[in-house]
Amino acid sequence: MPDTFAIVEPFSGPIRITFNERISERVAGGSLDRAVQVSPRTGVVRVKHRRDGLEVSVAGGFEAGLVYRVTVLPVVNDMFGNAMSEAFEFVFSTGPPPLPNVLAGVVVDRITGRSMAGISVVVMPAGEEDGVQHVAQTDTAGIYALRYLPEGTYRVQAFQDMNRNDEADRQEPRAETVRTVTNIDTIFVHLSILAPDTTAAIVASTEVVDSATILVVFDDYLDPDSSLAAVNVSLAREDDAAPRADSVLHWHEYQERMDSLRTRAAGDSDMPATRRQAPARARPRSGGSIGRTSAGMTPLGEPLPGREFYVLLADTLTYDVPYVVTVSGVTNIAGTAGGGGEDTLSYTRPPPPDTTGAVGDSTGAQPDTAGVQLDTLRLRRDTLLVHDAEPRVRGLLIPRRR
């Protein structure tokens, strides 16, 4: 009470929600006041327990000219501890009839790409700091929906309300965008929330990928959609013969480059079969230094951020010579510029292949080329020559049946 889609006069008394059985005074997490959400938010919500239901009041009453959406969250239990299976929502108006529109979407963690439950979503008129706030909360799948909004342009904000004060505080992960809603719109707005960060990204380590590629890892995440054109990378060694950096690539851009090289190598008919294996696809490293899934994409099809980028060199590195790598002009995923740093690396000569266990195969078995790697610099020069590793042949004697 009021009934669904009822149009009523403004009132100050509580609304009543009746269940089909007696309910518990305890909810599954949080307080009883937070078990019911009233949108738009016009005052503090208070919830009282009754034997077979709830009474919900709003400080200042239910104001005139608004469409109210009341959501009972699935935290209400019966006397046996069984919680509601899903949220229940109903709408009534103190003025205009509800408009058949919806603004909905999924909220995910920008770093991990995982959907996030219990995230507060606030929609308010754009450009108005004290405008009416329409509110929702994501379900277990990270989905939110705001129905029957008045027409207008809105600021859509999602945040993790860690201190439960119903406000997006400075330290809380958040996301924000602007959308226009009309009377019959169905608009999907997906949001990726991210914790604020005011510190610059610092070089944590560097390593050699192959003779013409190095990997630079930072202590902070980088935006995979941002340009790296402003990033400067230089290598130095004692004799001033260090190769220059040819290009800087995000991890997903590097993977696309390697996929293209693999396709070319596999399709080159003039290349010996034992040399058509392209460089192995780089994989996310364990230990949490690179925060992404094995697929490297969010459920929304966006590249996940990593803590690294790849540097393609214009020439090859020399074995066992120390290089000083200097990086500057890096901006982290939160938009903080001024990142960079220095590190020293060396291209270690690979050990010679172990041929002590090799056994000749007289049965015609094909050689194993799983250890072959193509040098990416030579691939870029269209020579397609093996540089970093030599092929090893392993055989197995198989007795023939008589």
Distance CA 383, CA 399 (A): 41
Q: Over 90: is that where the pLDDT of 189 sits? A: yes
The pLDDT of 255-267, averaged and rounded, is 82
Assigned architecture for domain 1-98? Sandwich (2.60)
Q: What is the largest CA-CA distance in the chain?
A: 98
Least confident of 43-52, 218-227, 327-336, 354-363: 354-363
Terminal-to-terminal C-alpha distance of the chain: 89
pLDDT tens digits along 276-301 = 344 443 444 433 333 333 346 666 66
Q: Which residues pair with 181 in a beta bridge?
A: 152
Instruction: Please give the pLDDT value at position 53.
Output: 92
203-346 matches 101-196 in CATH topology:
yes
Distance CA 375, CA 383 (A): 10
The pLDDT of 305-333, averaged and rounded, is 94
Question: Which band of pLDDT confidence, cut at 50, 70 and 90, is reported for residue 204?
Answer: very high
Pairing of β 152-159 and β 120-125: antiparallel
Give me the chain's average pLDDT, please: 82
Q: Which class is domain 203-346?
A: mainly beta
Write down the pLDDT at residue 152.
Answer: 92
- How many CB atoms sit inside 10 A of residue 249's CB? 17
Q: What is the pLDDT of residue 398?
A: 42
User: Mean pLDDT, to the nearest integer, of 311-321?
Assistant: 94
Among residues 392, 385, 330, 369, the alpha carbon closest in space to that of 210 is found at 385
Residue range 239-248, pLDDT digits in tens: 888 999 999 9
User: What CA–CA distance (Å, rounded) separates 47 from 27?
Assistant: 12
pTM score, whole prediction: 0.73
pLDDT in tens, 332-343: 999 999 999 999
For residue range 114-149, what is the model confidence (pLDDT) as tens digits?
999 999 999 999 988 778 999 999 999 999 999 999
Classify the C-alpha dihedral 55-135-132-40 as positive or negative: negative
- For residue 298, the model assigns a pLDDT of 66
Confidence (pLDDT) at 359: 54
Domain positions in the chain are 1-98, 101-196, 203-346
Residue 375: pLDDT band by 50, 70, 90 thresholds?
A: low
pLDDT per position as a tens digit, 356-372:
765 555 555 554 444 44
Cα separation, 50 vs 32, whole angstroms: 12
**Phi and psi dihedrals of 386, rounded to 5?**
-75, 130
Confidence at 232, pLDDT banded by 50, 70, 90? very high
pLDDT band at 184 (very low <50, low <70, confident <90, very high): confident
**Other C-beta atoms lying within 10 Å of the C-beta of residue 160:** 18
Instruction: Evaluate whether 124 touches 134 at the Cβ level (below 8 Å).
Output: yes
Q: What single DSSP character describes residue 183?
A: T
What pLDDT is attached to residue 39?
95
Fold (topology level) of 101-196: Immunoglobulin-like (2.60.40)
Q: What is the token pair recorded at 98?
A: 């509800």
CB 159 within 8 A of CB 173: yes
- What separation in angstroms does the CA of 24 have from each of 14, 56, 81, 355, 361? 20, 16, 8, 74, 76
The whole-angstrom separation of Cα 296 and Cα 303 is 6
Please tell me the predicted confidence (pLDDT) of residue 131: 83
63, 366, 391, 399 from 273: Cα distances, Å: 77, 11, 12, 27
